[in-house]
A and B are shown apart, each in its own frame.
Chain A
Amino acid sequence: MTGEIGQLALCLALALACVQAAAGLWGLKDERAAGVASGAALGMFVFVALSFGALVVGFVTSDFSIADVANNSHTLKPLIYKITGVWGNHEGSMLLWVLVLSVYGAGIAFLKRGGLRLTSAALGVQGLLAVAFILFILLTSNPFARLDPMPFEGLGLNPLLQDPGLAFHPPTLYTGYVGLSATFAYAAAALLTGDVDRAWARAARPFMLIAWIALTLGIAGGSWWAYYDLGWGGFWFWDPVENASLMPWLVATALLHSALATERTGAFRTWTLLLSIMAFSLSLIGTFLVRSGVITSVHAFASDPKRGVFILLILSVAILGALALFAWRAPKLESGTAFEPTSRETTLLVNNIFLVTALGVVFVGTIYPIILSAFGTRLSVGAPYFQLFFAPIFIALMIVLPFGPRLAWRRGDLLAAFRTLLPALGVAAVAGVIVLAAASPRTLVGAGAFAVAGWVIGASAVDLVARVRARTFAIAGFAAVLAHAGLGITLMGVAGTNLWRSEALEVLAPGETMTVGRYTLRFDGVKGVAGPNYQAAHADIDILKDGAVTGHLAPERRMYPAEGQETVQTAIRTTGLEDLYVALGDDRGQGRWTLRAYVNPLAPLIWLGAGVMALGGLASLWGRVRAMFFAQDKEPAALAPEAV
C-alpha cells in the first residue's frame, strides 16, 4: 500500500511541477500568476515529502514487495541504516535530490524575495528542473517499482555505507548541490525579466549562502568519512567523485564573492550571472558523473545506460538553455559600475580568477580520462597533477586574500591597508620561523605554508580587533573574519598531514611491537566478534610509553555475509592536534596480521577549519535572516561598506 501512495504522490508532484513551471513563466507577463506558481511549489513540496515518507516507511518495515527495498535492505540491518539506506541507493537518492529541490522551491515561494515578477520567473525555472528530474525518476529509476514474487529477504546495503556518515553526508551534500538550483533559477529569472540590478543578487543571496555552507560541510564530512572508513590514512584522493563535489564548491565560493560586489556596488553583473549558471551546471555534471556509472566508485549505483543518457539530456538542455539565454540577454544589460585598480572589487576579481583557474585544473583532470576512455584508452590522472596546480593557486589566493576586507569599495588605499596588516605580517613571520626551527623534517615548503596560514589568520585577527574597537558587534560582520580564518586553519592541517606524516606497515604476531612516530604499539592478537549483521576480526592494540600502557586501540575488519563484502574499521586516537591512526590489514596465518599505522600531525585542523568556514557562512546568513524577519533591520547592502 505504501508503495502505491508514494507513487501516486510523486505523480501528483509531477503535475504540480508542470503547473509551477507554466504559471511561474506566465508570471513574466502577468504578476497574478505568481500566486498560482507559489501555491504549486508549496503543494509540490508536500507531495514529494509524502512520497519520500512512503519510501522511508517501506524501508523501515522491510516491505520487500518494493524492488528498491528488496535490492538494498535487509531485515537484520540496524534501524538507523534502514532509514539512511533510503538514500544509500540510486532510486532513493534521486528522490532525495528532488525532495531537496522542492524544499528550495517552497522556500522561494514562501519568501518571495526580489518582488513578484522575479520570484515568479525563478519558480518557473525551478519548476522546469523539477519536471525533468521527477520524469527521470518515474521513467528510469522508480523507487516504488514492485517485485513479484516478493522475496523473503533483501539483498542488503553496501557495508561501506553502513556507517553513521550516511545519515549526514548525502543530505548535506545535496542541500549544497541542489541549493545552487535556487541561485541558478534566480539568475535565469533575472535574465528573463531583464532587471539585472542589485536586487536580484540580494534576493538570491540567502540561497547561495545555504548552498555554500551545506556544500562546505558536505565535502568536509565526506572527506572525514573517507579518512576513517577506508583505512588508507588520507583525507583526499582526487578521486573523480570528490572532484565532482569540489568543482561546484570552487564556483560557489567565487560566486559568493562576486555577488557581494554586484549587490553592493553593481559591479560584475554579467559575471555573477554567469557564475550562477556555472555553479549549478557543475552540480548537474557532478550528479551525472556520480550517478550515471561512468565512474566506478562506491557512489555509482547505476548501471543502466538509459539513466546516464537521460541525465546527460537534462544536463545538456539546462546548461545550453541557460547559456543561450545568457548570450541573448546579457549584452543588453547595463554595464557594471567602474572601480579603481586598488579597490575591494579588484581583490574580489583576483579571488575569482584564482578560483576559476583552480576549477579549470580540476575539470580537465577529471574529464580527460572519461573522454579518452570513450576512445578505448584507459588511464587515470594521478594526485600529483592536481597538487602541482592546486597548491600554488591556493597559496597565491591566500596571499592576496587579507587585502580584500581592508580595502574600501570602488577606491581603496593599498598602502593604508598594508599598514593595518603589519601585525598579520608579524604573525606570518613568527609562524614561519617557528616551523622552520622546530619541525622535523625541516622544510621550506612547510614554513611557507604556515607563514601564509599565519598571514590569513592574523589578518582575520586584525579585522576582529578593529571591530571590537569600533564596537560593531553585528554577527554578520564576523562572516569574513571566520570564513577566512577557517581557510587558514585548514591549510595548516593539510600542510601538517602531508609534510610530517609518519607511516609504518608491519606483520606482527601477538605480543610483538611496532613503532610509528613517537608511539610504540603492541599487538595483543585478534579475536572474532559477532555484530548485528557482520562478523568482525577485532584486534587489540596497546599504546606503550616507557613500557607502560597509556592507551588502547581496537581496529576491526568486518565481514558482511548478506552482501559478501568486507569493510575496515580504523581506530583513531586524537589529541586534537595529532591523530594516531591504525588499520588492521590482512591475516598472514599463525595469528600474524599486517597492521598499518599513521601519525597524522594536525589532521583534525583540516575539518575544524572547514567547520569554521561554514560558521562564517552561517554568520552572514544570520544577518540576512534578521533583516528578513525584523523590519527595523536593513539588509547589509544598505549598511556601511565595511560590513560584509
Chain B
Amino acid sequence: MTPKKRRRLAFAISLLVAGAGAAALVVYALQDNVLYFYSPSDVAAKHIAPGVAFRIGGLVEKNSVRHGKGAAISFMVTDGRTRVPVAYAGVLPALFREGQGVVAMGAMDGAGTFDASEILAKHDERYMPPEVVDALKRSGRWKEGK
C-alpha cells in the first residue's frame, strides 16, 4: 500500500466511524422526540405513562364540551368505541365543533385525562385529518363518502 492509499483508507475509515456515530446520535435523539399518533382505543389499550407527549385524534363527542374558568375547556374525544376526556386552555381552531374531527397534542395526566397543549388547526370544513380517518376506519365507524 502506498502512503497515499493508506492516507485515503484512514480518511475513509474515520469518515465511516464519524458517520456511524452521528447516525446513532440522531436515531437516539429521534426516539425521544417523536410524537406518536393514537386513537382513543389505542390510549385505552396501551396504558401510556403520564407525561409522555403524543397526539390524539377522533371526533369531538356530542354534548361533551364544557367551558371552565378563563380559557379552560374540556370535552370527550371518541372513535366510536372508546372515549378519552381532554382538558385544554387556549384558543380553539375556528372549525372546532361537536361531532367534528379533532387532533390534539399533549400528554396524559395521572387521572386519565388528556392534558392538551395544542388543538391543531383545521383549515377547511371539508377536510378531515387523515389520522382521524384512519382511526375511525380502524374502529369501523368510517363510512366512505361521508
Contacts and interface: CB of A to CB of B under 8 A. Distances in A.
B126 A564 contact: yes
A381 B30 contact: yes
Interface in A267-305: 296, 298
A531 interface: no
B22 A360 contact: yes
Contacts of B89: 505
B91 A506 contact: no
A234 to B, nearest CB: 12
B26 interface: yes
B129 A565 contact: no
B124 A389 contact: no
Interface residues of A, number: 38
Interface in A554-608: 557, 559, 563-566, 583, 585-586, 588, 594, 596
Contacts of A395: none
A365 B27 CA distance: 9
B134 interface: yes
B90 interface: yes
Contacts of A566: 94-95
Contacts of B71: 505-507, 585, 588, 594
B70 A377 contact: no
B144 interface: no
Interface stretch (B32-40, B43-51, B75-83, B107-115): B32-40
Interface in A538-565: 557, 559, 563-565
B104 to A, nearest CB: 13
Given A564-B124, A588-B67, A505 B90 contact: yes
Nearest to B126: A564
A377 B92 contact: no
A377 B36 contact: yes
Interface in A585-642: 585-586, 588, 594, 596
A585 B91 contact: yes
Q: Tell which of B94, B95, B129 has the most Cβ of chain A within 10 Å.
A: B94
A381 B34 contact: yes
Interface residues of B, number: 33
Nearest to B130: A296
A57 interface: no
A586 B53 CA distance: 25
B37 A298 contact: no
A296 B130 CA distance: 8
A506 B129 contact: no
Contacts of B53: 382
B30 A385 contact: yes
A378 interface: yes
Contact of A382 (B26, B34, B91, B131): B34
Interface string A357-387: 1001100110011000000011111101100
B36 A378 contact: yes
A167 interface: no
A382 B30 CA distance: 9
Contact of B30 (A364, A377, A588, A594): A364
Interface string B123-138: 1111001110010000
A243 interface: no
A563 B125 CA distance: 9
Nearest to A363: B26
Contacts of A296: 129-130
A160 B95 CA distance: 14
A505 B35 contact: no
B37 A379 contact: yes
Given A506-B71, A557-B94, A596-B91, A298 B35 contact: no
A388 interface: yes
A506 B34 contact: no
Interface string B80-122: 0000000001111111100000000000000000000000010
A158 interface: yes
Interface in A323-363: 357, 360-361
Contact of B92 (A369, A380, A564, A585): A585
Contacts of B35: 379-382
Contact of B29 (A158, A377, A389): A389
A585 B22 CA distance: 43
Contacts of A505: 71, 89-91
A160 B123 contact: yes
Nearest to A388: B29
A545 B131 CA distance: 47
Contacts of A365: 30
Contacts of B131: 378
Contacts of B90: 505, 585, 594, 596
B70 A381 contact: no
A396 B129 CA distance: 39
Interface string A376-408: 011111101100110000000000000000000
B37 A380 contact: yes
A384 B33 contact: yes
B2 to A, nearest CB: 14
A385 B29 contact: yes
B33 A381 contact: yes
Given A296-B130, A566-B95, A379 B33 contact: no
Interface string A185-207: 00000000000000000000000
Given A379-B37, A380-B55, A381-B33, A507 B94 contact: no
Contacts of A583: 91
Given A365-B30, A389-B26, A506 B94 contact: no
A368 to B, nearest CB: 6
Contacts of A563: 124
A586 B91 contact: yes
A298 B94 contact: no
27 contacts: A158-B123, A160-B123, A230-B121, A296-B129, A357-B22, A360-B26, A361-B26, A368-B30, A368-B34, A369-B34, A378-B131, A382-B35, A388-B29, A389-B29, A505-B89, A506-B71, A507-B70, A563-B124, A564-B124, A564-B126, A565-B124, A585-B91, A586-B91, A586-B92, A594-B71, A594-B90, A594-B92
Given A368-B34, A382-B53, 4 more contacts: A382-B35, A385-B29, A506-B71, A566-B94
Interface of A: 158, 160, 230-231, 296, 298, 357, 360-361, 364-365, 368-369, 377-382, 384-385, 388-389, 505-507, 557, 559, 563-566, 583, 585-586, 588, 594, 596
| 4 residue pairs, one from A and one from B, having the closest CB atoms | A385-B33, A585-B91, A566-B94, A378-B37
